Structure 1
Amino acid sequence: MHIDEELRERHVLSITVTNEAGILARIAGMFTARGYNIDSLTVADITADHQISRITIVTSGAPRTIDQIMAQLDRLVPVHKVVDLTENGPFVERELALVKVAGTGEHRIEAMRIADIFRAKVVDTTTESFVFEITGPTDKIDTFISLMRELGLVEVGRTGIVGMVRGKA
């Protein structure tokens, strides 16, 4: 095993940018050009005047690689701020998923029971299927989806991770 592979750590990066055409392509292009992988990516407008967006990227790498990614992101002109939430102290991260499950009889009852345990909400129902909405950490969503596979999983849509520093600042 190569040394860099041993030191690979998952990092959640929060990038505040000017909301302009092409910025997401430039950031994704930077990752691609340097061979960095993006595990999750979300983007949202965060100001009332629609001028600023937050991009949340989950990536993995050795500490030196993460430092390089941060420095390269910081040099892009429309980038205002880059924060490694993983290194910055306590933070909250969540993901949302829509999970469609088809089934009747006992499978339908079991799907509802598991959804209740996981605090998943039914957002659509027919006589043959449910669409559940579930939020939480990635491992919770992965477990829920895994359990639903056995009960008639049809389709999954996931948002990707969003994160925020805990506390006042």
Structure 2
Amino acid sequence: MGRRKIEMKMVKDSNSRQVTFSKRRNGLFKKANELATLCAAHIAIVVFSPGGKPFSFGHPSVDVVVQRLLNWEMDPKDETNSHVDVEQGAKVEQLNEQLIDLVNQLEIEKKRGEMLDKALKAKGLSKYCKKSINDLGLDELLHMKASLEKLRENLKSHIDDMEASSSLLLLKGATKENDG
């Protein structure tokens, strides 16, 4: 299939726009990190998501680059604080990466929650989730119990399938290492 050229215009669908933003932001930060590593460049990037949330990348850190920009008269060859700046920059970079990972995990969990809500509605179980368990009648509780037991069986089956697949992948990886 290959890559195709995407027309440069604003993405209309807000969900697609958020996904595009996340992917392009990560790509932008990755390229900036490569440029900083390869060329020893000081880089700072600040972007705001379509929802208004700020994201930043800086090498050695955003603060160091901004301070350098604000104090332009300062001699760039003055490296009295460069060791501290590099350590702080590495720590900030690590924290930025953790933040990006957590935001990505949050997005995945939000989508998972939406999928679970849709599944509950499709199964007709969403009415149980809106009521307190103390407000359910005997028939509703028995139906919910049966549904939960079926869910547990499905989960156990899915976990068993995943463990089997994982074992096969590990075995395949081990045979490749032995062949190589």
Report the TM-score when normalising by structure 2. Answer: 0.19
Give the structure with the higher percent strand: 1
Report the TM-score when normalising by structure 1. Answer: 0.20
Give the structure with the higher percent helix: 2
Q: Which one has the largest radius of gyration?
A: 2
- Greater RCO (CA < 8 Å, at least 6 residues apart): 1
